[in-house]
Amino acid sequence: MRRLDRCLVTHPLNPPELIPLVEVVPEGRTSPASMQRAVEYLRSLGRFPIVLKKSIPGYVVGRVSAAVWRECIDLVVQGVISVDDLDRAVSLGPAIGWAAAGPHLTYHLAAGEGGIRGFTQHLLASFESWWQQLAHWAQLDPDQQRTLIQSIEKAYKGKVEFLREARDRRLSAILRALEQARGPSGSESG
């Protein structure tokens, strides 16, 4: 490639026709002008680009998803909760808050006027004790894989197309609601 200053990565999320977020990642010699052009182009397509400051395996969204999913898998494999109840717990719990504000802003707002400083003063010790108990494994053994697959197939057997269509309708409704809640400029501040 002759123009390394134009080399960058754009990483959409699935399903890309519905999820507007796109991760934009500079490569070794990517110029700021190329990054800006890519971001502007993606915005012109109705996408919401986020700029990673450097390349990282799995990108940002994949890594956050992998961390959350590992804990979800662990809770199912340990017999703490069923697959469908866990999916319900995440989609009707933190996922709703995160769709509206993201994890950092969610916790910043949780303490009221005290913000994240107040939140950490009151709840960080609890989170730290939970972090020590989170799953630490890096791969599933064959028995865990079997348990996970059987649990998911049992919960959702024979319903994949129906569930995909239902998910897509919910995603579209969530995105419409988020768009309506934004200010006229498209920002959160209105």
Rg from Cα positions in the chain: 20
Query: pLDDT tens, 48-63?
Result: 999 999 999 999 999 9
- Nearest C-alpha neighbor of 140 from the set 148, 151, 129: 148
Does residue 188 register a pLDDT over 80? no
Does residue 173 register a pLDDT over 80? yes
* pLDDT computed for residue 105 by the predictor: 94
* pLDDT computed for residue 27 by the predictor: 87
24 beta partners = 10, 51
Give the whole-angstrom CA distance, residue 28 versus residue 95.
34
| Total Cβ atoms within 10 A of residue 60 | 14
Does residue 186 register a pLDDT over 60? no
pTM to 2 decimals? 0.85
- The two structure tokens encoding residue 72: 């979800």
Does residue 119 register a pLDDT over 90? yes
- What domains, with CATH codes, occur in the chain? 4-51 (no CATH), 63-158 (1.10.1040.10)
Residue range 156-182: mean pLDDT, rounded: 91
Does residue 5 register a pLDDT over 90? no
**Tokens 């809770």 — which residue?**
75
- The two structure tokens encoding residue 68: 């959350």
Q: Say if residues 69 and 76 touch (Cβ distance below 8 Å).
A: no
Does residue 189 register a pLDDT over 80? no
Q: Say if residues 22 and 52 touch (Cβ distance below 8 Å).
A: no
Phi, psi torsion values for 53, nearest 5 degrees: -80, -20
Give the catalytic positions in this structure.
23
Alpha helix positions (H), the chain = 32-44, 59-77, 83-92, 94-110, 115-133, 142-156, 160-181
